Amino acid sequence: MTYKISQKNYSFYELIDIFPEAKLYIKNKLIREIKQCKNDLCYAKKLRTEYQKVLSRIYRDKEFWTNVVEVVWISPWTEGREKKIKQNTSYLQSLREKSGWQEVDEGKITDIDIQKAKQFSIDSLMEFNKADFSPCPFHKETQGSFKYYRKTNSWWCFSCQTGGDSISLYMKLNNCGFRDAVKKLINK
């Protein structure tokens, strides 16, 4: 499977190398797709059981109706599901293998680095009042509409209608990319 980005085709494995911070998202997406495919196959099996009960009462054109049911109702639930499960399982295995590798390149960040950066306290980046509100740094205001949630270490601006975690805040405050924000936060 290849993906086209900026007029160039990349394989799944090349994309993982280019965007290592996307590993967790991709892993969760692959797991969801496998689960959905298995649910579809299970549903198709139930449909097949039910239609066989109904068709057992039909004496004429049983083969015709069996084919109709298989083509119209069953095949949309089964078509390509086994292949998708095998493919996604293979991709998951490669993700596990890559996650186990020790990153030698200083430019790369790991899932552990991302988790450490997300744990960096937002109140170290900004000052908040007793109710954990502050004036939003992204637009001019006199009242504080920027809320800090201590339990989840996340933020939300009620004026901008944006929010996130410590990484996204650092990125916006310092106008930098994801990788740079993670590196700076884990080294603070």
Handedness of CA 46, 52, 54, 55 (dihedral sign): positive
Boundary residue ending a domain (38, 65, 100): 100
Q: How far is CA 20 from CA 13, 25, 31, 91, 96, in A?
A: 10, 10, 18, 14, 12
Boundary residue ending a domain (72, 100, 128): 100
The predicted-structure confidence for 50-104, as pLDDT tens digits, reads as follows 888 887 777 778 888 888 888 888 888 888 888 888 888 888 787 776 654 433 3
| Count of domains for the chain | 2
**CATH for 168:** 3.90.580.10
The yes-or-no verdict on residue 184 having pLDDT over 70 is yes
Boundary residue ending a domain (48, 79, 100): 100
The predicted-structure confidence for 110-166, as pLDDT tens digits, reads as follows 788 888 888 999 988 888 899 999 998 888 887 888 999 999 999 998 888 888 899
Enclosing H/E stretch for 90: helix 81-100
Rounded distance between C-alpha atoms, residue 122 and residue 125, angstroms: 5
**pTM of the full structure:** 0.45
